[in-house]
Structure 1
Amino acid sequence: MRRIKAGITPVRASGLDAHQVVAAITERAKDLTARQAALFQDDVRPKLAAHNIEILAWEDLTAEQAERLTRYFRHQIFPVLTPLAVDPSHPFPYISGLSLNLAVLLRNPRSGKEHFARLKVPPSLPRYITVPGRELSTRNKAAGTALIPIELVIARHLDHLFPGMDILEHHLFRVTRNENLEVEEDDAENLLKAMEKELERRRFGAGVRLEVEDTITPFVRRYLVRALGLHDDDVFELPAPLDLTSLNQLHDLDLPELKYPRFVPVTPAGLAPQESSSAGDIFAAIREHDVLLHHPYDSFSTSVQEFVSQAAADPKVLAIKQTLYRTSGDSPIVDALIEAAEEGKQVVAIVEIKARFDEENNISWARKLERAGVHVVYGMVGLKTHCKLLLVVRQESDGLRRYCHVGTGNYHPKTARGYEDLGLLTCDRDVAQDMTTLFNLLSGYAPRARFRRLLVAPRTVRDGLVERIEREIANRRAGRPAWIRIKVNSIIDETCIDALYRASRAGVPVDIVVRGICGIRAGVPELSENIRVRSILGRYLEHSRVYAFCNDGDTDLFIGSADLMHRNLDRRVEELVRITDPAMVEQLEWLVTHAASDAVSSWHLEPDGAWVRHSHGPDGEKLEDIQTTLMARARSRVKGRH
């Protein structure tokens, strides 16, 4: 859309110009939002109602419920509302991105003139209000509960906001704005200040989409399109309620029987010989052996979080270096880094302030770290720092020792409970030296840096992976064992895809487990008949990356932060670490092999590009849910080592 406004609409490699791309995206997006709305209206809502969890309209209320909600409106909602009229002295107000608003059409009964007003639904108030008398009772949860959207309560009482006016119509709407940030890093004298300035501008990005209720009248629809500077094609008409992210409020209800069974992550066996209320000495455990972490089955708080906390409190620790791409402002990890700096330790945080849509949060807690004396480095010019690294330098009786954590996920305690990720805790000298070199590269200048066990983008990840694919091809042609197994979020890089096609044509079996964008085709004759592609969508978001190669029977296996995308391989600092412990290699190889097998419930990519769900076997038996299996395995290995 930005290109169209600037008049830059050349035909791209796809054969489409910008107008055609926007039209195709809009058509697909409208199809997806319609499917999403239908899923809620026709499937989720009736099933909730069957369990006495109802979302009511005002007309569904009893007289007593309506009266009590009117009192609630007067005391809890009315004082927060600000109606904004639109007339010659009041221009059309700025509508913030993704905010919920009521478009209200009014008439002055004296003059007969019609007026327009906008009313913002306060984001500080709950979207759904519990209907009086239908609260979720702790004694009798089977009685259920009933809720009503706040916009319906506001709409019913518009006469309180516009006394003396006739209310003709009211319709809910929201606007999506362009919130991409444009920072010329080469010209920015201070990246942090440039980002802060750009964040101010983001709020006023151009509108790109208007969502309205499907009951809207043509007149109000046209008025909003014109006032917001949009086109008719930019309007998405959907059934109420708009903004289904608000349904998180329903998920927060205390109804365990309607949710996944509770799972409590376990302390990794490699860190605790037996379950204990007090944490063991993590440094001693890592000295004894490397530890492989698999979140959320292994607890993030008793492993990574505890590692940082112990490092911050340990007087023998001299320095802590960590990359932070996304985390929460109230994160115990940020608190531990602050504590370490205040204790006089050297603390370096490589903070990526360009992490999309987390820019404001990252700047906020980066400032907090700086005030505590942490050396904060804001990444590298032209590259995002996406690698997940933590290095602790400790003075021990036999000299300095470096303890490392290399992960596939962010240092974010909240997402670690819902994202599937891997991590390695080690004090191996090669990994420690590689990480020291990489941190020096990130905070200083090290253009000739060389690495032993790490592949580092943008220099060596793509070349390193393609080299290993070519090795499998050579082994296959020489009659030696060969296979490739990959687990990623997304695969779109042409160089890597072409190499995998060459491997398939050479007869190398290739298994790929991909959760997101997939630009490879599977099972196409004479191109990819030896490639199997699976996708697992379940309770947890599959987020880890694993790259495994047969290597003539001596498996060569990496985990890390990099997906097979241009942005990861060319425009980010990413890392993959080679796993050398035979037991860990066996465990990770099993993970990818089993996830891609026909025994596991998953989506299969067909040769025509369609995804087909396979949840039952040929005899109608239910296929294995691999995440349930991994939860059971985690519980069973609470005692004993990995």
Structure 2
Amino acid sequence: MTEKSKRFINRELSWLEFNQRVLDEAQNEANPLLERLKFLAITASNLDEFFMVRVGSLNMMVEQGASGTDAAGLTPPEQMAAIRERCQQMVKDQYDILLNQLEPRLKQEGIVRQHRQELTEKQYQVLQNVIEEEAFSILTPMVVRSDQEFPLLINQSMNVCVQIENAEKERRFVVVPFARTNLRFITLPSESGYQYILLEDALALFIPRLFPGETVLETVPFRITRNADFELREDSASDLMVGMKEVLDARKEGTCIRLETSEFITSDMLRFLCEGLEIDGPEVYAVPGPLDLAAYFRMSSLGGYDHLKYEDWPPLREASLDPRATLFHEIANRDLILSHPYESYDPVVRFLEEAAADPDVLAIKQTLYRTSSQSAVIAALKSAAERGKHVTALVELKARFDEARNIKWAGELEQVGIQVIYGVKGLKTHAKVCLVVRREPSGIRRYMHFGTGNYNESTAKMYSDVSFMTCNPDLGADASNFFNAISGYSQPMKFSKIEVAPIGLREKILELINVETDRKKHGQKARITVKMNSLVDSEIIEALYQASQAGVKVRLNIRGICCLRPGVKGLSENITVVSIIDRFLEHSRIFHFLHGGDDRVYISSADWMPRNLDRRVELLVPVDDRDCKVKLVNTLNMYFKDNVKSRTLQPNGTYKLVEPGNRKAVRVQEYLYSRARKDLEDAERSQRMVFEPHLAAEN
């Protein structure tokens, strides 16, 4: 182990350990069966993006001969070798879980993947009709001759490759892309339960009908992953919208960096695919089961099998909110913290809808990074503009894999008269803030929503995030200055309370850590408690090491990547790192610094990564209201009491499951939902005890 690797864990290997923790949940028999299938699908989807972005980037570095090392002391070729080894084992584990654990259990429950040799006569007839009437009408076989270029295949779409022999014993290959067909899972008639067959298996049965007079020697499914790590060079792009469309086009032709196929493929066909796709053997993943396990998301939501899913936890109304009052009235009376998805995201949407309809609202300013496909947030902004309000929307066109959707939304918003900003040149705007300017009898008042998650009411039901709603005048002034800075070429002014990356957020975090270190050195109480998605930045990690060496207790709840090594004697023995993987994706960023008893509590859009601190526009927002502080700190502390879904990071980079033993079992997500439900029940009970008389109407 090098000196660098003693201090830092490689980022890519740390991410793969995160995906392993998700895979562990697919293997966890305490989880409902279809939820285990969903976790398996998530690991496959995660790996897809990992290959497209991280492996794609490393692959380019290797091709360019880059020899520098990362923070852990590994060169790009060394990282690629370690990734290949880890991924091959992970894929092997995925298929062991699917084929030997999940599918036998699913079969017992009546959910059966049929193989072509197992079809009943009725199933065969139905399948024949589907293939001949639908599939053969949609799919287009493409003959590939040695003197022709291999067809340009869609990234991560399914295909089958067919080897054919004619009467003269001449052989040729045919590629059949599935394109965007939704026929992958074909439902079959059955007397009970749910039976289905995969399109690739069905094609293998009927594809000889496409080649009369010839012999089909082999039909094998395959799937490719292309490098998608293309970013716009903004210094050479005169039109950002046009430039982003060019990036999307470039991804369609990215280098093939992974080939997935069946383990039963012949050497001839594998050689043909590798030569045509220009890919080497180490990037081939030959598997014993269905390709594209991410497609099993749809199976996890199968109707009629509620007993194989989690108990329903519908989002609840935040207990202190009066459903009869407007959000402006509520926020004017006090600051609000909403803990999603336990507490409903509806107030955030309602905040915008009320702002759109309120005649006293003058302006709405909003950042948008990732939104839902049928966005109520977008609809509210359009409604506001149509009612004559001044609406400004910063739509980040560079949000990876959401570029096309954001380009579409930007165009629609412009059509109704909204001032649309396509982000900030050279940076991605990842901050989550909405500012509403309202005219009131006392003058102009600014209402704000700050969040840790995207303005996406769909993911707000699945992601653990925090909303902070306030009309604090200082935060209002800061929010106005923030929008002025990102929308009008103006020099950012000094903010009163918030910090903004890349111009001050890093420095503020380091200052807060160093204050705790100095206090401990002077014999005062000191503690750092943090929840976020990823910890990668080496400068901040070094500051945390110094805090640990001074005796500061540092508790980190890091869902995903963590490059810090905890528990190393003389370096980080006072640092604990936990990770929670459960039914909701942990996504909130909450920071608590003891500060000598004068607690400093923040929410943020930023993880502690170089990209967030140096290459994105991010926000760090203080929460000063006492009740809001208490709620956030209590929430934060509960994450370190979980002994059901928590895993602790070991000094060697692996994770160990925390088990309750003789203690009471604590599952933090279950606790947070139960707390929200109890708070609401108590509030409703208290309200029923108040007698409210009917009064005569005033004349």
Shared fold (TM-score, shorter chain, > 0.5): yes
Choose which of 39, 46, 53 in structure 1 pairs with 2:104. 46
Query: Which residue of the partner structure matches residue 68 of structure 2?
Result: 11
> Structure 2 length normalisation: TM-score?
0.87
Give how far 1:15 is off: 4.7
Give how far 1:432 is off: 0.6
1:124 and 2:181 equivalent?
A: yes
Choose which of 264, 267, 272 in structure 2 pairs with 1:218. 267
Give how far 1:271 is off: 2.5
> Structure 1 length normalisation: TM-score?
0.94
Give how far 1:588 is off: 1.2
The percent identity for this pair of structures is 39
Query: Which residue of the partner structure matches residue 320 of structure 2?
Result: 270
Give how far 1:184 is off: 1.1
Q: Give structure 2 stretches of 5+ with no counterpart.
A: 1-58, 685-699
Choose which of 299, 303, 307 in structure 2 pairs with 1:250. 299
- Structure 1 contact 532–596 (Cα < 8 Å) conserved: no
1:618 and 2:655 equivalent?
A: no
Query: Which residue of the partner structure matches residue 337 of structure 2?
Result: 292
SS at match of 2:363: strand
Distance, in Å, in 2 between the alignment partners of 1:15 and 1:627 is 37
SS at match of 2:651: coil
Greater mean deviation of Cα atoms: 75-84 or 511-520: 75-84
Distance, in Å, in 2 between the alignment partners of 1:622 and 1:131 is 46
User: Which letter maps to 2:413?
Assistant: L
SS at match of 2:222: strand
User: Which letter maps to 1:560?
Assistant: S
Distance 1:19 1:380, change over 3 A: same
- Structure 1 contact 128–249 (Cα < 8 Å) conserved: no
Give how far 1:381 is off: 1.2
Distance, in Å, in 1 between the alignment partners of 2:644 and 2:528 is 19
Distance, in Å, in 1 between the alignment partners of 2:414 and 2:165 is 56
User: Which letter maps to 1:628?
Assistant: E
- Structure 1 contact 594–600 (Cα < 8 Å) conserved: no
Distance, in Å, in 2 between the alignment partners of 1:261 and 1:364 is 37
Distance 1:451 1:26, change over 3 A: same
Greater mean deviation of Cα atoms: 413-422 or 197-206: 197-206
Distance, in Å, in 1 between the alignment partners of 2:165 and 2:664 is 61
Distance, in Å, in 1 between the alignment partners of 2:487 and 2:185 is 47
Distance 1:577 1:17, change over 3 A: closer
Distance 1:144 1:290, change over 3 A: same
Query: Which residue of the partner structure matches residue 669 of structure 2?
Result: 627
- Structure 1 contact 559–577 (Cα < 8 Å) conserved: yes
Distance 1:525 1:18, change over 3 A: closer
SS at match of 1:186: helix
Greater mean deviation of Cα atoms: 35-44 or 353-362: 35-44
1:235-263, Cα deviation, whole Å (9 max, x unpaired): 11112200001111211211111111111
Q: Give structure 1 stretches of 5+ with no counterpart.
A: 135-142
Choose which of 443, 457, 460 in structure 2 pairs with 1:413. 457
SS at match of 1:303: helix
Task: Give runs of aligned pairs for residues 231-630 of structure 1, distance below 5 A.
Answer: 231-254=280-303, 255-272=305-322, 280-300=325-345, 302-597=346-641, 599=643, 601-614=645-658, 616-619=659-662, 623-630=665-672
Distance, in Å, in 2 between the alignment partners of 1:105 and 1:521 is 51
Choose which of 48, 57, 60 in structure 2 pairs with 1:2. 60
Distance, in Å, in 2 between the alignment partners of 1:248 and 1:432 is 42
1:595-617, Cα deviation, whole Å (9 max, x unpaired): 11365640011222220011x32
Give how far 1:190 is off: 1.4
Distance 1:377 1:641, change over 3 A: farther
Distance, in Å, in 1 between the alignment partners of 2:110 and 2:411 is 48
1:564-593, Cα deviation, whole Å (9 max, x unpaired): 000011111110111111122112112222
Give how far 1:182 is off: 2.9
Distance 1:563 1:523, change over 3 A: same
Query: Which residue of the partner structure matches residue 150 of structure 1?
Result: 199
1:455-507, Cα deviation, whole Å (9 max, x unpaired): 21112211111111111122222222211100010001111111111111111
1:259-292, Cα deviation, whole Å (9 max, x unpaired): 11111101222322xxx6xx63111111111110
Query: Which residue of the partner structure matches residue 199 of structure 1?
Result: 248
User: Which letter maps to 2:65?
Assistant: I
Distance, in Å, in 1 between the alignment partners of 2:448 and 2:61 is 45
Distance, in Å, in 2 between the alignment partners of 1:420 and 1:100 is 33
Give how far 1:296 is off: 0.3
Choose which of 62, 65, 69 in structure 1 pairs with 2:123. 65
Aligned residues: 624
1:21-52, Cα deviation, whole Å (9 max, x unpaired): 32222222222222222221122212211211
Distance, in Å, in 1 between the alignment partners of 2:119 and 2:236 is 60
Q: Which has the higher contact order (CA 8 A, sep 6+)?
A: 2
Choose which of 633, 636, 639 in structure 1 pairs with 2:678. 636
- Structure 1 contact 69–131 (Cα < 8 Å) conserved: yes
1:163 and 2:205 equivalent?
A: no
Distance, in Å, in 2 between the alignment partners of 1:346 and 1:512 is 42
SS at match of 2:539: helix
- Structure 1 contact 434–452 (Cα < 8 Å) conserved: yes
Task: Give runs of aligned pairs for residues 101-120 of structure 1, distance below 5 A.
Answer: 101-109=159-167, 111-120=168-177
Distance, in Å, in 2 between the alignment partners of 1:431 and 1:57 is 61
SS at match of 2:499: strand
1:391-410, Cα deviation, whole Å (9 max, x unpaired): 00111111111110000000
1:95-114, Cα deviation, whole Å (9 max, x unpaired): 111110000000112x1111
User: Which letter maps to 2:214?
Assistant: M
- Structure 1 contact 121–151 (Cα < 8 Å) conserved: no
- Structure 2 contact 482–492 (Cα < 8 Å) conserved: no
SS at match of 1:154: helix
SS at match of 2:236: coil
- Structure 1 contact 86–115 (Cα < 8 Å) conserved: yes
Greater mean deviation of Cα atoms: 467-476 or 388-397: 467-476
Distance 1:508 1:88, change over 3 A: closer
Which structure is higher in helix share?
2
Query: Which residue of the partner structure matches residue 137 of structure 1?
Result: none
Question: In angstroms, what is the RMSD of aligned CA positions?
Answer: 1.7
Query: Which residue of the partner structure matches residue 138 of structure 1?
Result: none
Give how far 1:350 is off: 0.7
Choose which of 20, 29, 36 in structure 1 pairs with 2:94. 36
- Structure 1 contact 69–132 (Cα < 8 Å) conserved: no
Query: Which residue of the partner structure matches residue 20 of structure 2?
Result: none
SS at match of 1:74: helix
- Structure 2 contact 339–464 (Cα < 8 Å) conserved: yes
Distance 1:298 1:598, change over 3 A: closer
Give how far 1:224 is off: 0.3
- Structure 1 contact 408–545 (Cα < 8 Å) conserved: yes
Distance, in Å, in 1 between the alignment partners of 2:644 and 2:93 is 27
- Structure 1 contact 511–593 (Cα < 8 Å) conserved: no
User: Which letter maps to 2:506?
Assistant: R
SS at match of 2:235: coil
- Structure 1 contact 328–361 (Cα < 8 Å) conserved: no
Give how far 1:125 is off: 2.0
SS at match of 1:379: coil
